[in-house]
Chain A
Amino acid sequence: MKSIFRPMALILGATSFISACSLSDVVDVNKPQVGTDIDHDYLDTKAGALGLFNSSLISLQRAVSATSLDVGLITDELVARPYSLSDRATDRMYDADTRLESEVVYGIRGIVSQAYPELHTTRIRAGYARYFLRRQADSTLNYAISAAYSAEGYAIVMLAENLCSGVPLSESPYGEKAVYGKALSTDSLLSIAVAKFDSALAISHDSARILTLAKIGKARALISLGRYSDANTAVSGIQPTDAYSLSYTEVLAPNAQVTSAFWTMASANAQTVTTYKRVEVINREGVNGLTWYSDPAAIDPRLPVTVTGGIFPAIVRQEKYVNGTVNFKLANWIEAKMIEAEHLLNAGDADWIESINVARRTVGLPDTTAPASADQQVDLLFRERAFWFYAQGTRLSDMRRLVRQYGRDINRVFPSGPYNRHPEIYGYGDAVVFVPPAGEFKDNYNYSGCIHRNP
């Protein structure tokens, strides 16, 4: 039997030896794939992590600009106009169900196809950036980690503000299992966003602008949750000079994403067509819309416009964004004051009007007085917000809040009645929120649609 045991012992010994060895070392290769793609080792460097961070900010820029245009179109801020006579001849029907006016005119540029995935891209990239920034164990990068949290928070806030209740947040953390998101209610999204901002604020760094970003973002989420006092607390300490801006440019750079929705709103191409504009400002759109201008001689400095004649009675072009180079204030002291005013108003504090006037003075506007009735006071507050944040993607949230938090009749807030382009045929629909695009239904097996489409 010795003749059996000897070879068996040898084989078992060899097997044990091989098992003990790490085969991983044998198959490690230097170039899993090198070419136009980035070696994953680069991601785990300071430069790589900052590159990911930059990517998340660039994505946030695109998301904000797309949202601004789309929100402008669905609300009373902007109206779409046919680009040419031939477009007019084949004018298409306004989407009465979802109010996707932008879809009607711009097709692929609607929120369902650009802003929605871009908002998700922002938060996913921010998550990747945070992961690799943390791995560097470098405190000088804390500002970036904080900003990445805030970028993620803003993306979630904007999803909550503008889409129906029931938006999924799918996750694909680096090296971890992907999670197909389930529908989350608006309040759930906002609570998640608050947590993101809290995380941003918890990180120690000395950047006032990034601190402002987190504070305003948190307050914006809390306002939508109706937690006015908490929102006011969140913005405390913000100074008039504090601001976090997103910068856009028309200067071409290799592979750079230089075009934005702001360029679309005010592109040179559009403005050379003097008769018709892609988007215009319209007074009292759908009856309920605001009167954005009344007298060319008394134009609000917060929304400069030019008025020209044409086939329509008036063509009003917004001049807030005059070209693609835009310094977009995503978070600033003005917004803090508006939040403060809303808190005071809801708290019954008469000083709320002072918060409004302090802000107005910064642009040379005269002080205004508080109206007598509560409804009028709310109207004034939201009109101030509308002018301050014109075409900044907040109007839809404000209009929804007027219905949800202030009990306004939905048909007295949103454009309604005959549609401005073909009033004899079409009317405004009932939908007041965006819904996720078809791809979410098709490819996310955990998602079956909105929880509800109420404001």
Chain B
Amino acid sequence: MSLSIAIGSAVILTAFVAGTPGRLSSQTEQGVVATPNASQQKKSGSQSSPNVTGEFKSVTIVSALKEIARRARIEIAINANSPSLQNTVNLSFVNTPVLEAIHRAIDNTDLEVRTTDDRAVYIIGNKSSSAESIGSSRSTQNVYYIAGQVTDAESKRGVSGVTVSVAGMAKSATTNAKGEFKVQGLPSGNHAISFRILGYVSANRSVQIKGKSVDSIHVLLKPSATSLSEVVTTATGTQRRIEVPTDIVKINADQIRERAPVRNIVDMLEAAQVPGVLVTRAGGDPGAPSRIRIRGIGSISQSNDPVMILDGVWIDASSDGPSRLDDIDPASIETIEIIRGPSAATLFGQDAANGVIVITTKKGSAGPTRWTASYKRDWGQTYGKQPLFYYGVGRAPTSTTTGSCPVVSVVNYLCQQDTVFVFDPNHQLLSREGVESNNSYTVQMDGGVPSVTYSVTLSTGNTIGIRRVSDVDKIRARVLGYRIESEFATPSELKRNNVTTRFTFNPRNNLSLSMTLNGTQSNLKDNSFIGDWRRLSSSLPSSVGGIKISGFRLDTAFGYLGGATITASEKPVKTTTGIISSSIQYTPLGRYVINANFGAEKVNTNNAEFGRKTECQVDLVCFDTLGTRSQKSDSRSVYTVRLNASTNLNLGPVGRFLEIRPSLGGDYKKTDQSTFSISKDKIPVGDRSINLGTLLFSSNIEIENAIAGWYLNSTIGLFKRVYFDVGLRQDIGSAITSSKNAVYPKIGGSWLVSDESFWRENPLINSFRLRSAIGHAAVQPDPNDIHGKFVHGVGYVDGKFVKSVDLSSTGNSRLFPERSVELELGFDLDMLNDRLNLVGTYAHKNNRNTLVVRSLPPSFGTGSSQRKENIARVRNRNFELSGTGRVIETNNTLLILNYALTLSDNMVVTLGEGVMPFGINESRIVAGYPLASSWGKAVLGYRDINGDGLLAQSEVVLTDSAVYLGWSQPRNRSSYGFSLTMYNQFVFDSRFSYQSKYVQHYSPDSRYGSEDINASLEEQAVAIIPGINGRRPISDLRWNTASITYHLPKNILRRFGGRSVSVSLQGRDLGLWTNYIGRDPGVNSTLIGDAFGDDGKTPPRPRLYVLDFKIGL
């Protein structure tokens, strides 16, 4: 404990301050900020400035100060020779902040209080001397002041850093940590006082001084829609948004969950409707993979997946199967931050070129255990009708046996058509789709003491997909005596159990440890049990020849049960995922911050597939064919080590002039993958074991890859309104030799224009920030791309068999990572008293040296092999705009409108010298056109030359070569939403989205024009060239989500001690209006890579209705 009072001259002060070097601050002029230093906090056991309680009657000011110092356990130095010190005062304090107590003690004297820079010592001095020390020309006659406190209107907590300024005078102050302020040197009269800080709606007050200071001003600031002061996560730690020159989107997970049906993180990203982020689904089955693209696709042969980081550690986010993102319970998530583009992601290391998604789990807060339990019940049904299924039946000229007889066979005189069957897959008997259902339970608890907090989230859910065995197949199987096993009763199902815990330890004031444990176990079932409709009709007797059957009739169908084929396959996928993440934050010496993250993710997946076919003859004699069986066990691990050290340097008056935050960091990521695959056929009838049958192939592949890098970064702030962010990173990976070390620089600037002196305050624009950044990032090639591939062989040389080592594919030792360079320009605008917030960003991203898989000419001597080369250049341009407006804001009503717009442009600028356009089928890579664009021959015309009423291939005129049809990703996307809150109890929310200028392939089983000889020539022409019709530019308007939520009022909650109770009815995919001829253009079954899409006849995501009940205690 330390207690010192020094009275007297400057000599006395010098003697005292010698042990606590300090410099008089200018805070006196601008207001008072005085808090005890760290050591005092530690001694007092308090995080905030100490308070004083006591009553002083008829004591001198010196005595009062001495007693205040004693009781508050602080140090006060008096550097004054004022007779006022001997004045007697009467004071009474009840838990009064020490600074306020001191002020009251010296009130109406010529004394004032100042602090040292480190706020270790409160110094009492003469006003005249302090004015002199800071060069003020303040008149000694203006001795009045105004003081008070600024608090958050919602949390009621003090707001620090608020600029309190007096209109027309160069008088201002900044609030301290408790929101307190004091502006001195004001004359009597009326004063217009403004209170401004980023993140809050500015407030104005009129204060009248009548010969006496005013010290009871209390101002409530409402949070504004703009959150430039919000803290976001960057590679170097957390930073205020104003300091970051790029637009980082932060999603509050609970807010999304309240307004939209969310089963996983991908749902959450989709519901958030973040500009520049495109989520594509592989289908409507539970566990179906999804693909996330941020600001387009830039890589031709490498992954375009963004990097995923959970509580500081990398997690596997590849999209080649059920997404690992689905393994993380959305209820356990606090926030998701989306860092778009290399300009923001440079420091996250290689592969961050495609953006970074930072997931932060919930952190408990100290206090008694808080319980939250929720139950969700979903119902879903697909929308959009499947097209009719046509099937032409006829006989060969010399045969009486009926069989398939499409138009093309008639054209070639191979058969004579008798009948065209028309099946309606939407008919209840034929439909293979039912009702999706989901039950999920979540229990959360958090609490703890200041030194240890915890958060635990447990959840379990079971989703039964929409696919069903059709009634026809059920009946047919029953007639055939074939038992449909339980595995096929609900062919598509996902069961998932999840636990997420996060513990935080604060053993010391400057040390914080955090540990996250996440475990998921899921069982996915993707079975199918399908009978063949064609076989159903092919057994029709010839007597029905010439009769067309429209629709499907039960009596017709079951009159011909013979000739059935039933194909059954089981695909169980069992996945176990574990994530452990440890974070340490240590702040030695007060101004240094050291962050460390260690962690690992382990994913074990077991895929199995068992197929079997049952053939039934016309006489109903059925036999099982031999089965097939394959199994794949995949184990992946991702290990993370990340270190970062930073410090804050403030130059000038309390850091207002120059702030520097240099950081130095490094990270290491290692991935291990082990895959064992085995495939067998001829599994005996009745068996399923992988031990039986004939081995087709087996393989065991292990892959290791590691990336390490270090970076240097500095944020430089000028006058608290201009910030520069400069950094560079150097990386190396297992795939890249040391000679290919690459440095990735970045630089950016953020300028709060509205805080400049030339900016005139106006009600239209409240705050305006301009930002710009340019940065580099990379995507690295795979190890085998570089080293080539050699395999063992055996050959006959010199009369004997010898082992050989054969070059299988030529690697390319000159490969280096693709380099992405992105320029980002943007603005943040708060308007109309912060009721309208606009964020606009233009991003221009170039993928230089893009890796292209290039076919090698035969003169390379590696057969038809390929290799990658850094030769292409791909350009992405994005304009993103998001707006939020509080249209109605009263005590009982709040209506918020949301808008987001993304305009995208993508082009392969060049493919490199001599590289011909390439691609698979309709998806081609052509210079001058977008990546993964759709191509195909177009129908120029047709003519029935021979007049037989049928079109042959030769009678349809196509373009000589494939022509560009469109891009597989929508160029324009916009979303619209509103949220209406009434009486703080009812919340209505709904979101819509519109996408346009893209193509999607739709390929139905069988078209009218290809099966019916009476189809129009136009229908026949389209059927001859399948896919053309389905690949026209499309657009769609989708009603994404709607919800109505009721929150129980607080007064009722208090009666039973509850914290919150809410009931929410939510809907998803409630409507779709599109010119797409398939069911849902948002479904793309081709998710591996970025090839042009095909909905693959996959059922779309069902229209979903969710009842969500939540209670918090």
Contact = CB atoms under 8 A, between A and B. Distances in A.
Interface of A: 3-4, 7-8, 11, 14-15, 18-19, 22-24, 26-38, 40, 42-43, 47-48, 51-52, 54-55, 57-58, 61, 116-117, 120-125, 128, 167-170, 172, 174-178, 180-181, 247-249, 251, 253-258, 436-437, 439-440, 442-447
Given A58-B795, A124-B807, A256-B795, A170 B787 contact: no
Interface in B798-816: 798-799, 801-808, 810, 812-814
Contacts of A256: 793-796, 801
A121 B858 CA distance: 8
Interface in B773-823: 783-784, 787-799, 801-808, 810, 812-814
A143 B867 CA distance: 32
Contacts of B592: 7
Contacts of A178: 810, 812, 814, 860, 867
B803 A35 contact: no
B662 A447 contact: no
A51 B803 CA distance: 6
A354 to B, nearest CB: 33
A18 B710 contact: yes
Interface of B: 591-592, 645, 647, 649, 651, 660, 662, 664, 666, 668, 670, 699-710, 712, 730, 732-735, 737-738, 741, 783-784, 787-799, 801-808, 810, 812-814, 854-864, 867, 913-916
Contacts of A33: 701-703, 783-784
A175 B705 CA distance: 20
Contact of B700 (A35, A42, A442, A447): A35
B855 to A, nearest CB: 5
Interface centre among A15, A38, A253 (most CB of B within 10 A): A38
Contact of A444 (B741, B857, B862, B864): B857
B738 A24 contact: yes
A14 to B, nearest CB: 5
Nearest to A119: B861
A395 B732 CA distance: 55
B787 A124 contact: no
A129 B705 CA distance: 28
B662 A11 contact: yes
B790 A121 contact: no
B861 A123 contact: yes
A55 B855 CA distance: 22
Contacts of A34: 701-703
Nearest to B731: A23
A436 B702 CA distance: 39
Contacts of A19: 730
A248 B796 contact: yes
16 contacts: A8-B662, A23-B738, A24-B738, A36-B699, A38-B789, A40-B790, A47-B803, A54-B795, A54-B805, A61-B796, A117-B858, A125-B806, A170-B861, A255-B793, A258-B796, A443-B856
B699 A58 contact: no
Contacts of A247: 796-799
Contacts of A35: 699-702
Contacts of A124: 807, 860-862
A7 B649 contact: yes
Contact of A117 (B662, B783, B863): B863
B635 to A, nearest CB: 13
Nearest to A54: B804
Contacts of A181: 859
Interface centre among B706, B806, B855, B860 (most CB of A within 10 A): B860
A69 to B, nearest CB: 18
B806 A55 contact: yes
A250 to B, nearest CB: 10
Contact of B813 (A4, A57, A125, A177): A177
A35 B735 CA distance: 17
Contacts, number: 222
A180 B703 contact: no
A443 B855 contact: yes
Contacts of B712: 11, 15
Contacts of A257: 793, 795-796
B862 A29 contact: no
Given A121-B861, A172-B810, A442-B857, A38 B790 contact: yes
Contact of A54 (B668, B802, B864): B802
Contacts of A447: 857, 859
Contacts of B796: 58, 61, 247-249, 251, 253, 256-258
Contacts of A255: 792-794
A8 B645 CA distance: 12
B518 to A, nearest CB: 26
Contacts of B862: 121, 124, 172
Q: Which 4 A-B pairs have the closest CB atoms?
A: A445-B914, A51-B805, A124-B861, A35-B701
A57 to B, nearest CB: 5
Nearest to A249: B796
Nearest to A125: B807
Nearest to B672: A31
A327 to B, nearest CB: 8
A253 B708 contact: no
Nearest to A28: B734
Contacts of B864: 439
Contacts of A168: 857, 859
B791 A36 contact: yes
Contact of B805 (A43, A175, A258): A43
Contacts of A258: 796
Contacts of A28: 706, 734
Contacts of B857: 168, 170, 180, 439-440, 442-444, 447
Given A27-B706, A27-B734, 10 more contacts: A7-B592, A18-B710, A24-B732, A37-B790, A38-B790, A52-B807, A54-B803, A120-B860, A257-B795, A437-B858
A453 to B, nearest CB: 18
B803 A40 contact: no
Contacts of A167: 859
A445 B794 CA distance: 34
B705 A32 contact: yes
Nearest to B733: A27
A177 to B, nearest CB: 5
A23 B861 contact: no
B301 to A, nearest CB: 16
Contacts of A125: 806-807, 861
Contacts of A176: 813
B664 to A, nearest CB: 5
B633 to A, nearest CB: 14
Contacts of A7: 591-592, 647, 649, 662
A197 to B, nearest CB: 19
Given A24-B738, A55-B804, A439 B858 contact: yes
Contacts of A31: 702-704
A33 B860 CA distance: 24
Contacts of A40: 787, 790
Contacts of B855: 439, 442-443
B783 A32 contact: yes
A129 to B, nearest CB: 9
Contacts of B812: 178
A27 B864 CA distance: 32
A47 to B, nearest CB: 8
Contacts of A57: 795, 797
B704 A440 contact: no
Contact of A29 (B704, B861, B863): B704
A4 B810 contact: no
A26 B703 contact: no
B577 to A, nearest CB: 23
A175 B647 CA distance: 44
Most chain B beta-carbon contacts within 10 A, residue among A3, A29, A52: A29
B651 A4 contact: yes
A447 B647 CA distance: 59
Contacts of A177: 813-814
B854 A443 contact: yes
